[in-house]
Every structure is written in structure tokens, then in C-alpha cells.
Structure 1
Amino acid sequence: MKTNTSPYNPFDYLETEEEINEYLNDAFMDDDPQVFLVALGHLARKQGMQEVARRTGLNRESLYKSLSGSGNPHFFTVKKVIKALGCKLEVA
């Protein structure tokens, strides 16, 4: 029997800005920095990567690569994406 699956985006289940910020902050605290980049990429795709690219002034294709989990974006890029998404990153 064949099992059908579909892509999973955790941001489809986070409803409030507080929940999204908490998820991103938890991902940031993970020992693997790629976890945070993937989480940020999920949020950017949910809001529309083209719109995020427009707000940041960055190339859409490079954003996809940077936020895929296998990219290695500069901190400047990550900071611009966080700001464009309206998120707050808190380091405690």
C-alpha cells in the first residue's frame, strides 16, 4: 500500500505572532544553526518568498538557497529577513 505525504510547514499551525517568535527563538537556541535557518525559511515561504525578497532588497533565488538549511548566509542577510518578516529575536 502506498502512503501519500505532503510537505510539512510548522508555520501553518502557528497562529499568533507570539507563537511564531517563540518558535524562532527556540530554533535559534538549538545547537545546530541550520535548524534556525530552516525555521526562518519556512516562515519566509509562508509569507511569500517574493515579497520577502522585495522587502529585503535581496535576490529571491539566493534567499531560497540561504534559508534552505544547506546555505551559509551572512548574518546581515539573516538580520534583514528577520526584520522583513516582522519577527523579534531575543538572546537571553
Structure 2
Amino acid sequence: MTKALAPMKLIEFDAARYLNDDEAIAEYMTAVLETNDPDLLLLALSDVARAKGMAQVAKDAGLGRESLYKALAPGAKPRFDTVMKVARALGVKFTAQPV
């Protein structure tokens, strides 16, 4: 008689769980920026903010916590200065290089 295997429980992937040091964050953000996808950039900023703690990031960016959630929500169109404030609060700097 064979034993039935218990069904495997899968959990949803959450990038924030793996963004536990500055190097991992920098590599993640660099890969996302290379896609040229603004929605993916907002998602990545949200992932990093969750990894670092949304309340602290909001405070460091000079935003309310709810404002930060709204700015990084899918489909949001935050102002450029908001994106830069969040990036600075996350310890991330965007750089340019020739294509």
C-alpha cells in the first residue's frame, strides 16, 4: 500500500522577504530599472519599502504612510519628486549611463 502525499502548500512570492541588505536592494532596483517599466519600478519601490518598514520609509520621505501606499500602488502616477523622495528614503540612488 502506498501512502498518499499531502498536498503541497505554496506561498505567494514576496520579493520583500529577500531584500535584506543594501546589495540585494541595489541589484533588484538595477534589474527593474533596466526593464524601463514604470509600473514595475513602483512595485519594486513598494517591495523595498515593505522590506525596510513602510512607516519608517514614509517618515524618512516626508510622506504620510497612506500617501506612500497610494503613491506606490499599481497604476499610480506619482510625481517625479515623490519617487525621488521615496528612493532617497530607501537609500537608493538612480544613476545614468550611456546606452
Q: TM-score, normalised by structure 1?
A: 0.83
Determine the C-alpha separation between the residues in 1 that align with 2:92 and 2:76.
Answer: 21
Which ranges of structure 2 fall in alignment gaps of 5 or more residues? 1-6
Question: Are the aligned partners of 2:58 and 2:64 in contact in 1 as well (CA < 8 Å)?
Answer: yes
2:17 aligned partner:
12
Alignment of 1:35-54 (within 5 A): 35-54=40-59
Which of these two proteins has the greater Rg computed from alpha carbons? 2
- Identity rate, percent: 40
Match of 1:68 in 2: 73
Name the one with the larger helix percent: 1
For the aligned residue pairs, the C-alpha RMSD in angstroms reads 2.0
Select the structure with the greater relative contact order (CA < 8 A; seq sep ≥ 6): 1
Shift of the alpha carbon at 1:69? Answer: 2.3
Q: Confirm or deny that 1:85 pairs with 2:90.
A: yes
Greater alpha carbon shift after TM alignment, 3-12 vs 30-39: 3-12
Deviating runs (4+, > 6 A) in structure 1? none
Letter in 2 for 1:47: K
